[in-house]
Every structure is written in structure tokens, then in C-alpha cells.
Amino acid sequence: MLPIDFNNKISYSPLYTQPSNNNDEDLADKYPDLKIQSTDPSPTRKSHDKIATNSDKLHASEQVTSLFLSNKKIESESDENQYQLCHKELSTIMTTAYNKSLTFRRLFNYAYDTNLCNGDKWYLSTQDAFSTTVTAEEIKAENGKKIISLTTDPANCSRFNEDYQLENGNYALFSLIRAFMHEIVHALTMLPDEDNNHDRGAVVEYTNIILKEMGNKEPARFKY
């Protein structure tokens, strides 16, 4: 479950510079709280890294969201205002990520080449806050639709009140951008949270890396 700090807007460091590449050692040197991901990486993330390799800007950043989302809505989507707010937030995050994060570009480019380019796009829902259909069973239950569920409304997230754990044992509250990016990574990789009993798993580690590359100053998540 994802606790949300709705007052925490996207924060970027003015000193941010793009690393020369995005291997774990370089990231650990630049961001000390990612060192654990270098010494104990998610096996699934390392495996996915071998197939999602192209970090070039193959698409216009402002078009990434339209390449990702279907222009149709699911029939049960009734809150137009919340839908538009979520769509705007999603677009802002994805545009910025594609501009600034090599890792995000790798994941997006691979997802586009393998699925999105064939019209197999995602449907945005605001009804089941922060979930993504990643298994065949989940997609079948949605009549074949791949659904990413997001919200910007605190009233829809009263049950999401848990913090995430840092490596030093402290806890931090989820920000809106971390909650969104976690689900976006699920959608782009089609990977689940569980990763053979690994502490973090691929989705958490990718989310940590992408937010750092975007210039976000939040501490990295240590455990799922």
C-alpha cells in the first residue's frame, strides 16, 4: 500500500547533472543511498536491464503519455475532474522522466517496441487508487484491458497511511511522484512487486533510480 504526501510536489535539484551512464556503481557514487542496490541488486532488475538497453530519446517527450495511454476511457470511469487531474499529473511526470532519466527512457523505449507500438496501450482509472494490472489473470479480469489506477485525491487514499523504510531504519512518507512512478514502472516492465524474496525487487529499485536521475531529492526506498 502506498501512503501519499499530497503536499509534496515534484522537487528537482538545481545541481542535477546527468550521469555519463547508469550502471549501479556510478549511481552509488553519485547517490550514496543507492549503494545497497549496487551491492545487493534485484536479480529481476538486472535481468530486465539486459533487454531494455536503448536510452536514446526516440520519441518527443511531450508525446510519451499519448504513446502510453489509450485515448479511450473505461466505461466505469465517472469522475471526469479527477481523471483530468490524474492525466495531467501523469503527463508531467512521464514527460520529465523521459527528458531526464536514462533508465526511464530504456524502460519506455523497450515497452514501446514490444507492446505500445502495436496499440496495446494502458487505460487510466481513478477508482482503485495505485494499482496496475501486470498478470495475465488481472488483465483477463478487466476484459483484456491493461489498467493503471492512480489518484490525486486524498479522500481516495485514506487507507494508504504507511511510510516506506530507509536504509538507516527511519521512515519517510510517500510523495505523489513516487506513488505515480511506482505504478508507471509496473506498467512499463510488467513486473510484479515480489522478486524471489529480495528486499526491494525490480520495481522499487527502478523507481529509486529514475527519481534520482530526474533530480528528485527524496531518500531511496530500502524495502518493499
Residue 154 lies in a domain: yes
Residue 91 lies in a domain: yes
Residue 181 lies in a domain: yes
pLDDT band at 161 (very low <50, low <70, confident <90, very high): low
Residue 9 lies in a domain: no
Q: Residue 13 pLDDT > 60, yes or no? A: no
Residue 94 lies in a domain: yes
**What pLDDT digit, counting tens, does each position of 162-185 carry?**
689 999 999 998 889 999 999 999
| Domains: count for the chain | 1
- Name the pTM for this structure: 0.89
DSSP single-letter state for residue 156: G
Backbone angles phi, psi at 38, to 5 degrees: -80, -40
d(CA 41, CA 205): 8
- The answer to whether residues 4 and 179 touch, using CB atoms and an 8 Å cutoff, is yes
Residue 6 lies in a domain: no
**What pLDDT digit, counting tens, does each position of 180-200 carry?**
999 999 999 999 999 988 999
- Residue 208, domain extent: 24-52+63-214
Q: C-alpha 8: how far from its chain's center? A: 17
Residue 5 lies in a domain: no
Residue 2 lies in a domain: no
d(CA 40, CA 153): 36
